[in-house]
Structure 1
Amino acid sequence: MEDVFKDPTTLSKGVELKDLMSGSEFEIDMDFKKKPRGILVNGDDDLFPGLEDDDDSDTEDFLKIIEESTEKKLLSSPEYLSFEELTTKMVDVIPSGEVKMSIVEEGDGPLVPVDAQVTLHYAAYWEKAKIPFDSTLTMNCGEPFCLRLGSGRFLPGLEIGLTAIRGPTARFHLLLQPAMAWGKLGVPPRIKPEPVLFVIVLYGVTDQYAVSRFNDLPSQEQSKFEVTIRTVNSLRTNAKDLFQRHKYMKCIKDYQQSINILNVSRPETEFEISEIKRLKISSLLNLAVCYSKLNKAKHVIQMLENLDYLIDVDSHCKALFYYGKANEILGKTELAVQYYQKALKLEPKNKDIGKALEKLDLYIKKSSKKEKEMWLNVFKSESKENFNVDDDFQNGVRELFKDLAGNKEYAKFDLPPGLKSDEVEFVKHLAKDFEGLIVHEEGEGRKRKVTIVKQL
């Protein structure tokens, strides 16, 4: 029992001072130590927690679920007769041959750094086994594990294998000898001192320390092409992951750092010069895209203006498209349409440009319609506000004026007495639209007499 108290223990909940002062009793659960979760290092994780040895039906169901899960996540054990046969299709990662690898799908980035944060799923198999004895599928609620290399959470052989693969995405197999896994003696009773096959799917790699490593280098080393490419590729890989997770401000920071590093690089060959230029163009365009996502139109335009020093923007479809986006954000619709149309000429089948133009065209039509309706309403309201006259009176006066205006002889018509001021004002206002009609007024108030005269 003394062994239980050798290591520091965290209480399940806090203790208040009044409890200590009042002589309260505390009960210790002798089974308080939680089993470690995550990658097996000591071999004391249980792949099937809660299943007793005599619960055969539940165990079989669980094993079936595990087998189906490994197939779904592409973590199934590969087809082979023995580990010896499997090694013929693998390469040595280290000279001793204790870590062997076969790549199923190559990743699309640089080699995984030794201190990178990786996101992965794995399944570990004994020879000829179809069900893994250990897998991340049973941990972390089934989500991929995210851990940093060099933190002590990985087996030695896993660390070595991961740093020999290109990320952020890859699928590969690692065959580890006991010395590169849990040790030559294993961890009885669960972990046997035998070779183990890891089937691994790598989802993401975050090189959090790329800039720190670069900053620690002397300036002469920083300007070397290979150092530039390695650091910038790490930043771009991280930025791509951030962009996919909609973390645009952090993404912008990585692309800005990439440009700073590219600016201090000293390429020597034509190839190196063109590669540095290509990365600068790509970084500026990606910055424009990120600022566009944040609706920072002026920053988009600034990035594209910087780009204009490297390429002819008028011949670059993506640059023209984001000039259009920026002007659309600023409300400069006509200018946005011009840029979109220029971009469409370069890539007539580009669906994104077509959609942007269609959206703007619809917006312009709606705006034009709304503007027309607005002015019609203004005129209507103006007529009703300036002349508080009902529609019957207005229509009657209009008909009268049409008859008088069409009369070829002198005519005179007296309007009925007692007209309201608004009615008289409406008559005088309407008469201006008919040539030859004059409105005469005599008297005031109820005695006011209004006459319409048609002059020859």
Structure 2
Amino acid sequence: MDDAFKDPVQFSKGINLRELMNSGTEFHIDMDFKKPGASEISTDDDLFAVDDDDDDSDSEDVLKILEDKTDNLMLSSPEYHSFEELAKKMVDCEPSGNVKVLILEEGGGPLVPLDAEVTIHYAAYWERASIPFDSTLTMNCGSPKHIRLGQSAVIPGLEIGLTTVKGPSARFLLLIQPKAAWGPLGVPPRIRPEPALFVVALYAVRDAYAGARFNDLPSEEQRKFEVTTRTVNSLHGHSKELFKKKRYNKAIRNYQQSVSVLNLSRPQNKDEEKEVKRLKINAFLNLAVCFTKIEKPKHVIRMLECLDYITDTEKHCKALFYYGKAYEMLGKTELAIQYYQKALKLEPKNIDIGKALNNLDGYLKSSEVKVKELWQNAFKVDAEAKEKVNVDEDFQNGVKELLEDLAGSNEYARFDLPPGLNGNEVDYVKNLAEEFSGLTVFEEGEGKKKKVTIVKKLV
């Protein structure tokens, strides 16, 4: 039996790396593995596996394509004499020195959180190699990889390195020792027990748990400007993604929490005060937009009124526009037009405002025709009633009801009464109109051609 293990033993079935790193693993060895026909290790999962019938030129073509891709995406291995020389230019990500980092392009945001969701491309190289032995470029049709940190989705060294850089975008090198990668023994034959160099491009960071982490902080920590702004930026970033997915209610909850966080902030100078104010304006405006999407106009107006305490909304085009949207949804057309017109003065070339005004103009013209028909039908009287010297009771009741409705309107209106009314009927309308604030009766012409108009003015 001792002779059986003089040569390396290859497993007939692949190993799950996550199980190998995180749990106990049992291996069962068939003592007849050396016999003819025994299973050999499959290369189906190998990064650069090729069919037996392929010639060397095909293999070279595959490697050349991968090399070009890494070069185009700036994931190619940098020039260096050795890992030892490269390590001198790097800094430790942890005291053990098992993970070192060299920032090539610094990101503009905060450090990547431990539980963030990141979007990356990487290419991993052995020392002095020009072709990566592992890369996201060969996965998922070449699309960047989305990873939730803290879930053992990648090797520990890569997670550690990602949390030492600033997002949402960055490019950096990670030199990872076997202990922080696939283990001190590696995973032969493909994964050697050697250090590996990862060239990483970080494209996006989604911090979906910023609010929960903030709630767990002590009150003194919560008041710090750096903490509040970092949390709010994360909440707003997540809200934008939710908004794109039309998950408006969840986006609203995030924006509402950001307002609460900002109210706790204690800025120490004018620049910090300016930043807190900017974030509050952003939060209230986006809340107004979200409430517009779920058709809650009163909530929209409430958010904009809150905004008015922070900044002058009369000078803010977006705020005026959403005031108009809210009043349009409430059926207060005249008010909506007023706000749209104010917004248009600030941005005369804004297409959205122009469209909103055009739509309301068409609505008003259509409504005027319908209401005029209603008035004409209401003032219809039969021939017998017109011959009477006195105005009959039905006519009186109809006119009174319509004048009450008109006087209760909050909008300007002008309507022509139907022709053919006798003098008594016209006098009755004029006398009754005087009892209502804002109603005026105009007469033009004589006899059957007399035109009588009732105008409702805004008080």
**Bin of the TM-score, shorter chain as denominator length:** 0.5 to 0.7
Residue 356 of structure 1, aligned match among 344, 352, 356: 352
Q: Distance in 1 between matches of 2:88 and 2:354?
A: 54
Task: Give 1:40 shift.
Answer: 11
**Contact kept in structure 2, 1:224 and 1:265, CA below 8 Å:** yes
Further displaced range: 242-251 or 162-171 = 242-251
**Contact kept in structure 2, 1:123 and 1:136, CA below 8 Å:** yes
Task: Give 1:372 shift.
Answer: 7.7
Q: Distance in 1 between matches of 2:367 and 2:231?
A: 54
Letter in 1 for 2:355: K
Question: Structure 1's 315 and 232: CA in aligned 2 closer, same or farther, altered over 3 A?
Answer: same
Q: Distance in 2 between matches of 1:281 and 1:135?
A: 43
Q: Tell me which residue corresponds to 1:261.
A: 261
Q: Tell me which residue corresponds to 2:283.
A: 283
Q: Distance in 2 between matches of 1:375 and 1:122?
A: 67
Q: Tell me which residue corresponds to 1:295.
A: 295
Q: Distance in 1 between matches of 2:19 and 2:67?
A: 19
Letter in 2 for 1:213: R
Could you give the per-residue CA deviations for residues 184-206 of structure 1, whole angstroms, max 9, x where no partner exists?
44332112233323222323323
Q: Distance in 1 between matches of 2:89 and 2:290?
A: 42
Q: Distance in 2 between matches of 1:182 and 1:121?
A: 19
Q: Tell me which residue corresponds to 1:239.
A: 239
Task: Give 1:256 shift.
Answer: 1.0
Equivalent residue pairs, number: 355
Three-state SS of the structure 1 residue aligned to 2:50 is coil
**Contact kept in structure 2, 1:110 and 1:166, CA below 8 Å:** yes
Question: Structure 1's 327 and 142: CA in aligned 2 closer, same or farther, altered over 3 A?
Answer: farther
Question: Structure 1's 237 and 106: CA in aligned 2 closer, same or farther, altered over 3 A?
Answer: farther
Q: Distance in 2 between matches of 1:367 and 1:54?
A: 72
Three-state SS of the structure 1 residue aligned to 2:122 is strand
Indicate the RMSD between aligned Cα atoms, in angstroms: 4.3
| 1:37-436 equivalence runs, <5 A | 46-48=45-47, 51-52=50-51, 55-56=54-55, 58-67=58-67, 69-70=69-70, 74=73, 76-83=75-82, 87=86, 91-94=90-93, 98-348=98-348, 351=349, 354-367=350-363, 370=366
Question: Structure 1's 91 and 241: CA in aligned 2 closer, same or farther, altered over 3 A?
Answer: farther
**Contact kept in structure 2, 1:223 and 1:266, CA below 8 Å:** yes
**Contact kept in structure 2, 1:118 and 1:147, CA below 8 Å:** yes
Could you give the per-residue CA deviations for residues 256-305 of structure 1, whole angstroms, max 9, x where no partner exists?
11112222334454444443333222211221222233333222211111
Q: Distance in 1 between matches of 2:245 and 2:239?
A: 10
Task: Give 1:323 shift.
Answer: 1.8
Task: Give 1:166 shift.
Answer: 1.8
Letter in 2 for 1:359: K
Task: Give 1:369 shift.
Answer: 5.9
**Contact kept in structure 2, 1:63 and 1:131, CA below 8 Å:** yes
Could you give the per-residue CA deviations for residues 293-347 of structure 1, whole angstroms, max 9, x where no partner exists?
3333222211111111222221223322322333344444443333233234344
Task: Give 1:142 shift.
Answer: 4.1
Q: Which runs of 5+ in 1 are unaligned?
A: 1-29, 387-428, 437-456
Q: Distance in 1 between matches of 2:213 and 2:171?
A: 28
Q: Distance in 2 between matches of 1:339 and 1:256?
A: 25
Three-state SS of the structure 2 residue aligned to 1:237 is helix
Task: Give 1:162 shift.
Answer: 0.6
Three-state SS of the structure 1 residue aligned to 2:146 is strand
Three-state SS of the structure 1 residue aligned to 2:119 is strand
Question: Structure 1's 184 and 310: CA in aligned 2 closer, same or farther, altered over 3 A?
Answer: same
Q: Distance in 2 between matches of 1:203 and 1:372?
A: 55
Question: Structure 1's 189 and 321: CA in aligned 2 closer, same or farther, altered over 3 A?
Answer: same
Letter in 2 for 1:112: V
Three-state SS of the structure 2 residue aligned to 1:194 is coil
Letter in 2 for 1:276: V
Letter in 2 for 1:175: L
Letter in 2 for 1:357: I
Q: Distance in 2 between matches of 1:219 and 1:337?
A: 46
Letter in 2 for 1:288: A
Q: Tell me which residue corresponds to 2:389.
A: none
Question: Structure 1's 200 and 357: CA in aligned 2 closer, same or farther, altered over 3 A?
Answer: same
Could you give the per-residue CA deviations for residues 346-388 of structure 1, whole angstroms, max 9, x where no partner exists?
445xx5xx21232134324544665688799999x9xxxx9xx
**Contact kept in structure 1, 2:75 and 2:200, CA below 8 Å:** no
Normalising by structure 2, we get a TM-score of: 0.63
Q: Distance in 2 between matches of 1:435 and 1:272?
A: 75
**Contact kept in structure 2, 1:124 and 1:198, CA below 8 Å:** yes
Q: Distance in 1 between matches of 2:83 and 2:49?
A: 35
Q: Distance in 2 between matches of 1:134 and 1:101?
A: 19
Higher Cα radius of gyration: 1
**Contact kept in structure 2, 1:93 and 1:161, CA below 8 Å:** no
Q: Tell me which residue corresponds to 1:13.
A: none
Residue identity (%)? 56
Question: Structure 1's 169 and 372: CA in aligned 2 closer, same or farther, altered over 3 A?
Answer: same
Q: Tell me which residue corresponds to 1:23.
A: none
Task: Give 1:49 shift.
Answer: 7.4
Further displaced range: 49-58 or 180-189 = 49-58
Task: Give 1:54 shift.
Answer: 5.5
Question: Structure 1's 47 and 308: CA in aligned 2 closer, same or farther, altered over 3 A?
Answer: farther
Task: Give 1:143 shift.
Answer: 4.0
